[in-house]
Amino acid sequence: MVAEDRAEAAPVAIVMGSQSDWATMSHASETLKALGVAHDARIVSAHRTPDRLVAFAKGARDEGFRVVIAGAGGAAHLPGMVAAMTPLPVFGVPVQSHTLSGLDSLLSIVQMPAGVPVGTLAIGRAGAVNAALLAASVLALTDASLAERLDAWRAAQTDGVADRPTES
Ligand code: RP5
């Protein structure tokens, strides 16, 4: 792939194990949209579509991605398996499961063996939003315009916090 193609490719991949994960992972997408970061969201299941997983993970760098956000629930092997097959930074989002409230997802993602890192976020929406912010921070290291947008996003967040609580 030529350099020009890489420059035009979306830098962030959001992958998730199931359509049912989108309710959580859409928060990562919305956060990236707010920051003007192009991204591509795909369903890639470690268990139901293992060949798709291998193809995605092995080809992610050559597709032009620079960061991967991977969300899954339950036996959440997707982030770790992606990390095993790509040199790109991988941020894992534990999706809140029905049976164990996402503790299963969290422990599946966070306990990686030394040598294969997954940056593991909080369970659910907070994790999805923060994975997007971390992805943006990584990209902002070499993108001054994005760094300014990220600063503005954080300043707006700070400005949005009232001094005192109000009755709801
Ligand atoms: C995991 O199984 C997915 O990441 C999802 O969180 C969970 C349940 O998937 P569905 O049965 O809702 O498709 O692989």
CA–CA separation, 74 vs 90, rounded Å?
18
pLDDT, tens only, 102-137: 999 999 999 999 999 999 999 999 999 999 999 999
Q: CATH number for the 3-159 domain, one of 3.40.50.1970, 3.40.50.920, 2.40.50.180, 3.40.50.720?
A: 3.40.50.1970
pLDDT, tens only, 67-79: 999 999 999 999 9
Q: Which of 14, 15, 16, 18 to mutate to test the pocket of ligand 1 (most atoms within 8 A of CB)?
A: 18
pTM of structure: 0.94
Asked whether the ipTM of the predicted complex exceeds the cut of 0.90, the reply is yes
CA–CA separation, 61 vs 11, rounded Å?
9
Across 26-51, average pLDDT: 98
Residue 137 alpha carbon to ligand 1 centre in Å: 28
Share of the chain above pLDDT 70, in %: 95
Q: What is the pLDDT of residue 8?
A: 64
45 Cβ below 6 A of ligand 1 = yes
Task: Look at residues 21, 19, 20, 11 and name the one whose alpha carbon lies nearest to residue 128.
Answer: 21
Is residue 4's pLDDT more than 60?
no
Any idea where the domains of the chain sit in the sequence? 3-159
48 Cβ below 6 A of ligand 1 = no
Q: How many CB atoms lie within 10 A of CB 163?
A: 4
How is 19-78 classified by DSSP, letter by letter?
GGGHHHHHHHHHHHHHHT--EEEEE--TTT-HHHHHHHHHHTTTTT--EEEEEEESS--H
